[in-house]
């Protein structure tokens, strides 16, 4: 097997603003042609990282390489990157054609070729007939497509997207994320996408880089970081999770017994406990969709805990409902499909937690 080609490599990247460290010792390798999302809350360092890759900020330490070439000391206009920002940054007084052609005019592209390249870019974003219009004549979604066309028309080595969908309404945002992924796959262009929206990250990415307080918490495919979080932060940030303090018992073959404080003992596959190491204290992660609510007569799987629970709140969502349930002195969330009728507020139910649906992460410290 050949070693995958890395399109972007960050080695020991640090960014300080005075006494504040925005990005701390970041190492990251991004494969050619992949769609990578930097995901995290505001202030976690994701946009700062993107701006360093773009050349809009200089790292305090470390090296940035694009296709094997160090660009740390190279200005933005010599990095051959496509950039799309959340405010689109279109020139209001220029036509759509001139907006898209702008980058080509500074790259010594013959005039005879510019028109064809612009038209191909407009075709790709499915707006072939708007070249003579101005940005104010287009909707927000159409302006976003034009900003993307302007970024890809120069055939960049890497496409950088800084929360480009955040200004759109919910339905249009979902449509655009499908379009973005389609265009990226069609071009095969390495793309780095910044967002705080977990649904965007899960739907669009080949790889997700979860960040917190300037650090990388976890890197992996969408299913991996969702199903197998390696920290309480990742479990909480991606999806709705119940985090329960627990004590880890001695491994028994491929099974690890875990005693949840106040709930009892549940047996987990050893493969769901790898992030914990030898510690005897840990945090059990139960995704809200894996906390099953059932009637008192429902069967209980052999690897499960079945706990009496009281429904305190019902958040009806159409095909599903989110329930808040009280178990002992703890309130947990459950998201269950509605098969017939949702459980009612005040109902007494059985909360079922299966070991195979849980993950163990290091103890959360406050």
The domains of the chain, with CATH numbers, are 6-227 (3.40.50.300), 232-362 (2.40.50.140)
Give per-residue pLDDT as tens, 103-115.
898 887 888 899 9
| pLDDT score of 340 | 67
Q: Check: pTM over 0.85? Answer yes or no.
A: yes
Q: What is the band of 215 on the pLDDT scale with cuts at 50, 70, 90?
A: very high
Measured in whole angstroms, the distance separating CA 15 from the mean position of its chain's CA atoms is: 22
Give per-residue pLDDT as tens, 262-310.
899 999 999 999 888 766 899 999 999 999 999 877 778 777 899 999 9
Determine the Cα–Cα distance for residues 325 and 259; give it in Å rounded to an integer: 20
H or E element at residue 346: none
| pLDDT score of 366 | 59
Average pLDDT over residues 209-219: 97
- Give the torsion sign (CA, 173, 179, 182, 186): negative
Give per-residue pLDDT as tens, 27-74.
999 999 999 999 999 999 999 999 999 999 999 999 999 999 999 999
* pLDDT at position 120 over 90: yes
> What one-character DSSP code corresponds to residue 245?
E
Average pLDDT, the chain: 91
Measured in whole angstroms, the distance separating CA 41 from the mean position of its chain's CA atoms is: 11
240 with 334: CB under 8 angstroms? Answer: no
| pLDDT score of 77 | 87
Measured in whole angstroms, the distance separating CA 187 from the mean position of its chain's CA atoms is: 21
Per-residue H/E/C for the chain: CCCCCEEEEEEEEEEEECCEEEEEEEEEEEECCCEEEEECCCCCCHHHHHHHHHCCCCCCEEEEEECCEECCCCCHHHCCEEEEECCCCCCCCCCHHHHHHCCHHHCCCCHHHHHHHHHHHHHHCCCCCCCCCCHHHCCHHHHHHHHHHHHHCCCCCEEEEECCCCCCCHHHHHHHHHHHHHHHHHHCCEEEEEECCHHHHHHHCCEEEEEECCEEEEEECHHHHHHCCCCHHHHHHCCCEEEEEEEECCCECCEEEEEECCCEEEEEEHHHCCCCCCCCEEEEEEEHHHEEEECCCCCCCCCEEEEEEEEEEEEECCCEEEEEEEECCEEEEEEEECCCCCCCCCCEEEEEEEHHHEEEEECCCC
> What one-character DSSP code corresponds to residue 321?
E
Determine the Cα–Cα distance for residues 197 and 222; give it in Å rounded to an integer: 13
* pLDDT at position 1 over 60: no
Q: How many residues does the chain have?
A: 366
- Joined together, the tokens standing for residue 291 give 């906390």
Give per-residue pLDDT as tens, 125-148.
999 999 999 999 999 889 989 999
Which residue's entry shows tokens 């050893």? 270
Of 151-160, 193-202, 288-297, the poorest mean pLDDT is in: 288-297
| pLDDT score of 116 | 95
């Amino acid at each position: 097997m050949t070693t995958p080609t890395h399109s972007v490599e960050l080695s020991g990247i640090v960014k300080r603003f005075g006494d504040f460290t925005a990005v701390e010792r970041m190492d990251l390798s991004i494969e050619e042609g992949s769609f990578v999302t930097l995901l995290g809350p505001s202030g976690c360092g994701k946009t700062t990282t993107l701006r360093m890759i773009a050349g809009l900020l200089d790292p305090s330490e470390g090296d940035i390489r694009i296709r094997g070439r160090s660009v740390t000391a190279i200005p933005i206009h010599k990095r051959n990157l496509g950039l799309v920002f959340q405010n689109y940054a279109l020139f209001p007084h220029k036509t759509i054609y001139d907006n898209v052609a702008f980058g080509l005019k500074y790259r010594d592209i013959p005039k005879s070729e510019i028109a064809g390249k612009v038209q191909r870019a407009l075709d790709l974003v499915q707006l072939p007939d708007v070249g003579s219009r101005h940005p104010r004549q287009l909707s927000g979604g159409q302006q976003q497509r034009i900003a993307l066309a302007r970024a890809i028309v120069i055939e960049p080595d890497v496409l950088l997207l800084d929360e480009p969908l955040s200004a759109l309404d919910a339905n249009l945002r979902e449509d655009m994320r499908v379009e973005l992924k389609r265009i990226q796959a069609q071009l095969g262009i390495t793309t780095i996408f910044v967002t705080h929206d977990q649904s965007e990250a899960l739907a669009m990415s080949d790889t997700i880089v979860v960040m917190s307080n300037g650090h990388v918490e976890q890197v992996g495919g969408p299913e991996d970081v969702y199903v197998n979080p390696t920290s309480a932060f990742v479990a909480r940030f991606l999806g709705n999770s119940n985090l329960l303090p627990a004590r880890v018992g001695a491994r028994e073959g491929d099974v690890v017994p875990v005693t949840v404080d106040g709930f009892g003992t549940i047996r987990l596959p050893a493969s769901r406990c790898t992030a914990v190491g030898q510690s005897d204290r840990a945090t059990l992660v139960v995704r809200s969709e894996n906390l099953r609510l059932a009637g008192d007569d429902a069967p209980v799987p052999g690897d499960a805990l079945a706990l009496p629970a009281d429904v305190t709140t019902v958040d009806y969502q159409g095909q599903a409902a989110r329930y808040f349930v009280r178990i002992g002195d703890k309130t947990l969330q459950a998201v269950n499909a509605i098969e017939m009728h949702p459980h009612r507020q005040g109902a007494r139910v059985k909360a079922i937690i299966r070991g195979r649906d849980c993950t163990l992460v290091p103890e959360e410290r406050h």
